[in-house]
């Protein structure tokens, strides 16, 4: 949470310093932080395969009125709420994941529109190690870098995350001992790494294509976690 909070604070501070049309009040700061946390929570819920939780977090974004200090951001606030509503009304994980990726890109539109990119800070990957847990930690790290690529928008973060996903796939025996689920897990693991390889080849100007790819990545993660969950003790 400290990492997430530092990004939101940096967004607020940089925009205020650059003369963005907002009232740099404590209320505005807290409002932006709460929305930022909710957007991250939507993403994390979908990765975990929890559509109900993702909808609940997205509904909060839709139903909370814009704080007066950021109301002048009009089109950007409206776009964020529209994308959040798409998550709420999504028919399933796949549609919600696509909308969530667009929600992140809406943040990027605001940053790009004001020419004030957020300070994303250092992004050192977890140490390389064999086994399920270290591998999945690197997947999580890659997912966050690609997400930062969308909200920045940041070419470097997108490429870094995509390259990490494109590494050798995780074998099903490293994921779980329940062999009945192993073929499906192997298929999904291969899909994740294939998406990483495709993502690193998307041109820098094609942010719409990148957000669509990230949506596919989120839904693939969700499907894998849902497949693994019944086999856990």
pLDDT digits (tens, 9 = 90+) for 200-227: 999 988 999 999 999 999 999 898 888 8
Distance of alpha carbon 28 from alpha carbon 73, whole angstroms: 12
Give the residue carrying structure tokens 């399920």. Answer: 132
Instruction: Characterize 186-204 residue by residue with b for buried, 16 or more Cβ atoms within 10 angstroms of its Cβ, and e for exposed.
Output: bebbebbbebbebbbebee
Is residue 185 predicted with pLDDT exceeding 60? yes
List the single range of 25-34, 53-62, 88-97 with lowest mean pLDDT. 25-34
More confident position, 69 or 228: 228
Most confidently modeled of 69-78, 122-131, 134-143, 148-157? 148-157
* pTM (2 d.p.): 0.79
Least confident of 38-42, 146-150, 192-196: 192-196
CA 16 to chain centre: 25
Instruction: State how far the Cα of 32 lies from the Cα of 130, in Å rounded to an integer.
Output: 39
d(CA 43, CA 59): 13
Report the pLDDT averaged over residues 149-159: 90
User: Which stretches within the chain are classed as H helix?
Assistant: 2-17, 26-47, 51-63, 74-88, 93-113, 132-151, 155-165, 172-175, 182-199, 207-228
Q: What is the DSSP letter of 124?
A: P
| Comparison of pLDDT for 14 and 143, the residue scoring more | 143
Is residue 86 pLDDT above 80, yes or no?
A: yes
DSSP conformational letter for 21: S
Q: Which two tokens stand for residue 188?
A: 């999904």
Q: How high is the pLDDT of residue 171?
A: 55
Top mean pLDDT of 122-136, 166-180, 182-196 is at: 182-196
Q: How far apart are CA 185 and CA 175, in angstroms?
A: 8
pLDDT at residue 193 greater than cutoff 60? yes
Report whether 176 contacts 224 (CB < 8 A). no
């Amino acid at each position: 949470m400290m990492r997430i909070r530092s990004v939101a604070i940096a967004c607020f501070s940089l925009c205020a310093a650059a003369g963005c049309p907002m009232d740099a009040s404590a209320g505005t700061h807290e409002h932006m932080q709460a929305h930022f946390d909710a957007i991250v929570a939507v993403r994390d819920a979908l990765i975990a395969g929890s559509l109900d939780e993702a909808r609940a977090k997205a509904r909060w974004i839709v139903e909370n009125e814009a704080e007066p200090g950021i109301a002048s951001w009009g089109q950007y606030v409206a776009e964020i709420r529209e994308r959040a509503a798409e998550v709420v009304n999504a028919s399933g994980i796949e549609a919600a994941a696509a909308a969530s990726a667009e929600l992140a890109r809406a943040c990027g539109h605001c940053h790009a529109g004001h020419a004030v990119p957020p300070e994303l800070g250092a992004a050192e990957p977890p140490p390389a190690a064999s086994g399920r847990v270290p591998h999945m930690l690197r997947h999580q790290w890659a997912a966050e870098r690609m997400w930062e690529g969308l909200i920045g928008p940041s070419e470097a973060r997108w490429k870094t995350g995509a390259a990490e996903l494109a590494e050798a796939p995780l074998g099903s025996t490293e994921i779980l001992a329940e062999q009945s689920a192993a073929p499906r897990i192997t298929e999904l693991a291969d899909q994740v790494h294939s998406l990483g390889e495709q993502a690193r080849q998307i041109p820098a100007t094609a942010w719409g294509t990148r957000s669509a790819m990230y949506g596919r990545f989120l839904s693939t993660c969700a499907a894998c976690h849902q497949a693994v969950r019944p086999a856990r003790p």
